[in-house]
Amino acid sequence: MKIMITGACGHIGSYIFENIHKAKKVKNVSLIDNLSSKRYSSLFNIKKNKKIKFDFFNIDLSKKNSLKNFKKYDVVIHCASYTNAEDSFSIKKEMFRNNLNCMKNIIKYCKKNKSNLIHLSSTSVYGKKAKIVAENDKHLLKPQSPYAEIKIKEENLLNQNKKNLSYISFRLGTITGVSKGIRFHTAVNKFCLSAATNGYITIYKTAYNQYRPYLSLRDAFKIFLFCIEKKVFNNQIYNALSGNFTVKQILSKIKKNKKKIKIKFINSPIMNKLSYFVDTSKIKNLGLRLNSNIEYDIKQTLNLFKTIR
Ligand SMILES: NC(=O)c1ccc[n+]([C@@H]2O[C@H](COP(=O)([O-])OP(=O)(O)OC[C@H]3O[C@@H](n4cnc5c(N)ncnc54)[C@H](O)[C@@H]3O)[C@@H](O)[C@H]2O)c1
């Protein structure tokens, strides 16, 4: 089996290729990234594996025909994207251009080659006050950033092309856990970095007691493995999370591993003042139980800095 991982140097992509040997029958894995995230370290010392050959391609997927020389891959896991939601306000135009052009090129490639596609959306597409939000609650979609607006556009592009395309799309919660390409611009990792380097953990005033969804990298990989091995590409969207937690709960998990932390409350440009629980019934019905302990991920992340006093 041949697998293409786009955005392979990033946080999620690097975790996938480090673990892809766990998928049966995988022989060739192509890693594509334009190195815009500068995660060169993801490519250091890739573990040799007797059964898998890795190739790396430095390609900008937003460029037309960027994949024209690529023959068929059985599965494409599409992670290539600009991903900083907070920055997306100041680089809105560029983020729309990059992410949507990448998406269009990937769709075109998968249709032409009959490749199965795993698409990564985000639970940040939700943003209305609700007790619980589920995939079919279209009235609860209210992106609070250009980044999240783009995710909805990507989902719509997939839906518009569904006739000749086999895909599955996951609305991932905020990722927790350590990978070679780990990045620190999302909530938990950012808090861990500040805690570990004795800086202030900045918290959005409005978010302290609000529930948000989080997904362990281990559960994210479990999902991808499941789709690859069971060939589940049913053109559906699924929420994917290990649990819903408040910022207060996340901070108490950090405090268990780092006794003294400093907190500063600030205003956020993402004015998402609304609390919501993300529903997991649909993914459970698929047969997937996501239950990795994010406290373990937090401990691992803090441990990266363990020799700092
Ligand atoms: N990390 C999270 O918490 C999270 C949560 C929900 C959804 N997601 C989604 O999962 C996917 C992967 O996220 P991540 O955290 O690994 O992001 P990341 O920023 O760590 O990695 C993305 C990678 O894509 C590459 N890239 C960007 N534009 C490219 C282009 N034009 N051509 C080739 N490569 C390009 C970057 O160099 C980077 O290495 C994204 O679609 C993201 O929106 C992530």
Find, among 231, 159, 272, the residue nearest to 3 by Cα: 231
pLDDT of residue 309: 73
- Cα angle for residues 34, 43, 191 (degrees, 5° grid): 85
pLDDT of residue 85: 87
Find, among 211, 212, 189, 210, the residue nearest to 201 by Cα: 189
- Cα angle for residues 295, 193, 210 (degrees, 5° grid): 55
Residue 285, domain extent: 2-303
Average pLDDT rounded to a whole number, residues 101-125? 98
**pLDDT value at 269 more than 70:** no
**In this predicted model, what pLDDT tens digit does every residue of 51-63 receive, in sequence order?**
999 999 999 999 9
pLDDT of residue 159: 98
CATH of the domain at 247: 3.40.50.720
Q: What percent of the chain has pLDDT over 90?
A: 86
Exposed e or buried b per residue across 265-303, where buried means at least 16 C-beta atoms within 10 angstroms of its C-beta? eeeeebebebbbbbbbebbeeeebebebebbebbbbbbe
Query: Which atom in ligand 1 lies closest to the alpha carbon of residue 63?
Result: 31
Query: Which atom in ligand 1 lies closest to the alpha carbon of residue 124?
Result: 6
Per the CB < 8 A criterion, the answer to whether 5 and 13 are in contact is yes
Ligand 1 center from residue 60 Cα (angstroms): 13
283 lies in some domain: yes
157 lies in some domain: yes
Q: What is the pTM of this model?
A: 0.97
**pLDDT value at 3 more than 90:** yes
308 lies in some domain: no
Most confident of 126-140, 203-217, 243-257: 243-257
Average pLDDT rounded to a whole number, residues 212-236? 97
Average pLDDT rounded to a whole number, residues 160-173? 97
**pLDDT value at 129 more than 80:** no
309 lies in some domain: no
**pLDDT value at 198 more than 80:** yes
Average pLDDT rounded to a whole number, residues 210-216? 94
Confidence class for position 275, pLDDT limits 50, 70, 90: confident
Query: Which atom in ligand 1 lies closest to the alpha carbon of residue 98?
Result: 31
281 lies in some domain: yes
Pocket test for ligand 1, best of 43, 67, 79 (most atoms within 8 A of CB): 79
The token pair at 72 is 């068929």
**pLDDT value at 93 more than 60:** yes
Question: What residues does ligand 1 touch, defined as CB less than 6 Å away?
Answer: 7, 9-13, 32-37, 39, 60-62, 79-83, 98, 102, 120, 122, 172, 174-175, 181, 183, 186
**pLDDT value at 83 more than 70:** yes
Total count of domains within the chain? 1
Ligand 1 center from residue 83 Cα (angstroms): 5
H-type helices in 1-84, by residue range? 11-19
Determine the residue type at 72: K
Ligand 1 center from residue 125 Cα (angstroms): 16
267 lies in some domain: yes
**pLDDT value at 131 more than 90:** no
173 lies in some domain: yes
Confidence class for position 270, pLDDT limits 50, 70, 90: low
277 lies in some domain: yes
pLDDT of residue 273: 61
Give the chain's mean pLDDT.
Answer: 94
- Residue 200 pairs in a beta bridge with 262
The token pair at 276 is 């919501």
Angle between helices 294-303 and 187-196 (to 10 degrees): 40
**pLDDT value at 271 more than 60:** no
Per the CB < 8 A criterion, the answer to whether 147 and 88 are in contact is yes
Angle between helices 247-257 and 187-196 (to 10 degrees): 40
